[in-house]
Structure 1
Amino acid sequence: MLPSALKPTMDSLDAVLRFFTNQKTKIGYGIMAIATIGGERIFSLLSFQCPCNVKQNMVYGLTYLLGPALVLFTVGLFLSTRLWRLYTGCCLNPRKLCPHRANCLSCATVLFNVAVGALVAPIMWLSIALLNGTFYECAVSGLEEKAIVDWFCKNRTSTCKDELAKVPCQTSNMSPSDTKELLLILHAQSQIIGWILIMSSALAALIGTCYKNCRSQVSYLQLTFWKVYKEKEKEKFEAYADEYATRLADRNLKSFFENKDVEAFPFPNHKAWEQISTIYTFKRGEQYYSTLQRYVENPNRDYTPEKMPLEMEHTLE
């Protein structure tokens, strides 16, 4: 039993832990933003060196601007549990993507939501990179489109068209004032595009959230409870999976090393795993919050245990 003097301290720690637990999504986005800013600064200061060549500026600048964004988008898809729940096994059974025609829209919605979620980090990268302006300046200065070059070099010396690509390195043969002015124009354009991207993303997020909540089939409090339940079910599933996997491994190793027949071990069958792995679609006539709850409350579910899970896995491969 804790001394009375320590109880206020423990209560305060519990309150802090609950706060961080409840705000972990926002904290995660904050950490992602800080990491993105740090990554952009590292690339700009240590790695990025604009070639200041009309043939290479565009490719080099766009590579640094769009390359990390594509990598972050790919990582976002890799880390999406919903994508893999929908995609796993669909090559062997394409109907898993859309088992019923009525569910095709739900599957498309899931894929859209996965893509939108994976776009958060790339948009952060692009916004920060454009606000900094280094990559954009290098890329745009290498454009060879006559109309764009004429616009930049309007009312300037004839050497401007040939020296525009050297502006980011400030090694052009133009006057220092013209070089500085062009550099400021490129920097301003980059920041304007960056702010447009930020404002467009924020507006799209607001409209999407409003539309999603407006179309919700449950009330706000029930939706809040649903989110909490899904998080708790995920945590408990991981804990149960770890416990049962440990027990199954212990049983198999004990049987192997002691050269004895294995003991009976309850294990869900393949059909059960398939059913709880599908993406859940809410229906007003059902008071379920996940595919797992719908499965366990189904009176006609199959209780037949999986006797040889490893052999089944080998057969599926």
Structure 2
Amino acid sequence: MNKLSKVLDFCIRHQTALGYGTVSLLTAGMEEIFSSVVFKCPCNSKNTIYGSVFLIVPAFILFLLGYMVNTRIWLLLTGSCTQESCSCNFWENCKHYCEVLVKVTARNLVAPLTWIAVALLSTDFYECAASGSSFWKKRVCKDKGTKCYELLVNIPCGGELPVNETFSLQAESQLIGWVLIASIVTMALFFKCVYNCCSSVAYFQQKFWKMYLKQEREQFDTKAAEHARHLAERNITCFFETTDPSPFQTPSNEDWRKISSLHTFSSQQEYYSMIHKYANTQKDSRVRGREGAQNPPILGFVARASERESEF
């Protein structure tokens, strides 16, 4: 049990890295299946198109799927075309949208870049695409006639050139793959350093922030499911028993809108999420409401009149 708790603690502390690792492994496994089962290079003039499609199109699909399953994108877009949202400052909204899109895009690039890198290392897709390209035709078959070009496009199907150029295609594919991986790691490290340097919170506060958001999401899902169940039970009971609905407190549309907007951390107001901000602002408004109720305008007028009378 102690070992299990240590494993769970490790997974919680490194859930982001493990998540990226899982996505990368799944992408690599999917690429291996495509390469061994689905991919069959035609070994003719269509090599470039066929190989490029398998190299680029799945990566593009993974990139789009990353947007589709990202919650921040839907928080940003939902209700953004309503009249109330459009009446806000255009440039502020545009700046906010660009900031979110840059962060989401950086996360979404993990799967497509993994696909391309693994495909380049396995050499099948690149070898097929390069064997039919005009660049390699000019590079390998210059002044060697059409027979050389026919041999070149048959390399993915086991053909060979007199000068054994098939190894050059495979080596170039793997070289590009390793350069791509090194570039990705370097850029990720660079942007991570820049992000941490520009962070408005300290390292341990940032860790606490992530823990809080995880707990908040879990608590919200549990409470929302319970709340929806109670509301559904009340409405079903009213329907089948033809009774009037009992009073039921539920958030208003305005409340849902407040917690559904994207959160931006501010050093002046240290809220960790929109729900955190909503809870505190609602508390402040209730306090102001009670203070106003304790001294309504008519009572304030009586108090001021009493003060003026005491001066005489």
> With structure 1 as the length reference, what TM-score do the two structures score?
0.83
* Structure 1 residues 18 and 182: CA distance shift in structure 2, 3 A: same
Mapped to 2, the partners of 1:31 and 1:122 lie a distance apart of 14
1:273 has 2:265 as partner: no
Report the counterpart of residue 179 of structure 2 in structure 1. 196
Give 1:228 shift: 1.2
Q: Could you give the per-residue CA deviations for residues 19-67 of structure 1, whole angstroms, max 9, x where no partner exists?
A: 223333222222222222221111111111100111x111100111112
Larger radius of gyration: 2
* Structure 1 residue matching 2:134: 3-state secondary structure: coil
Counting helix residues as a fraction of each chain, which structure ranks higher? 2
Once residues 206 and 13 of structure 2 are traced to their aligned partners in structure 1, the CA distance between those partners, rounded to angstroms, is: 15
Measured in 1, the distance between the counterparts of 2:87 and 2:278 equals: 19
Retained in 1: the 8 A contact 2:234–2:246? yes
Stretch moving more, 250-259 or 23-32? 23-32
Q: Relative to structure 2, which stretch is displaced further, 72-81 or 97-106? A: 97-106
User: Counterparts of 1:48-59 in structure 2 under 5 Å?
Assistant: 48-54=39-45, 56-59=46-49
**1:251 maps to which of 220, 226, 234:** 234
Identical positions, percent: 39
Q: Residues 192 and 209 from structure 1, CA distance in 2 versus in 1: closer, same or farther, beyond 3 angstroms?
A: same
1:81 matches 2:64 = no
Is the contact made by 1:36 and 1:125 (CA closer than 8 Å) also made in structure 2?
A: yes
Q: Secondary structure, in 3 states, of the residue corresponding to 1:159? A: helix
AA matched with 1:233? E
TM-score for the superposition, normalised by structure 2: 0.84
**Deviation at residue 279 of structure 1 after TM alignment:** 0.7
In the TM superposition, residue 229 of structure 1 has moved relative to its aligned partner by 1.1
The answer (yes or no) to whether the contact 1:98–1:107 under 8 Å persists in 2 is no
Q: Among residues 66, 69, 92, which one is paired with 2:59 in the alignment?
A: 69
Tell me how far apart the structure 2 counterparts of residues 50 and 159 of structure 1 sit (CA, whole Å).
19
Q: Describe the shift of the 1:127–1:156 C-alpha distance in structure 2 as closer, same or farther (beyond 3 A).
A: same
Q: Is the 8 A contact 1:82 1:279 kept in 2?
A: yes
How much does 1:162 deviate?
3.7
Q: Corresponding residue for 1:37?
A: 28
Please state how far the C-alpha of 1:170 moved relative to its aligned partner.
Answer: 2.3
CA RMSD of aligned residues (A): 2.2
- The alpha carbon displacement at 1:289 in A equals 0.9
Deviates more, 1:279-288 or 1:129-138: 279-288
Matches within 5 A, 1:146-295: 148-153=136-141, 159-171=147-159, 174-175=161-162, 178=163, 181-295=164-278
Equivalent residues of 1:53, 1:166 under 8 A apart: yes
CA distance in 1, matches of 2:57, 2:148: 30
Q: d(CA) in 2 for partners of 1:59 and 1:94?
A: 47
SS at match of 2:285: coil
CA 194–93 in structure 1, closer or farther in 2 if over 3 Å, else same: farther
Per-residue deviation, 1:78: 1.1
Structure 1, residues 118-162: CA drift from partner, whole Å, max 9, x if none? 1110011110000011000001111134xx422123586762134
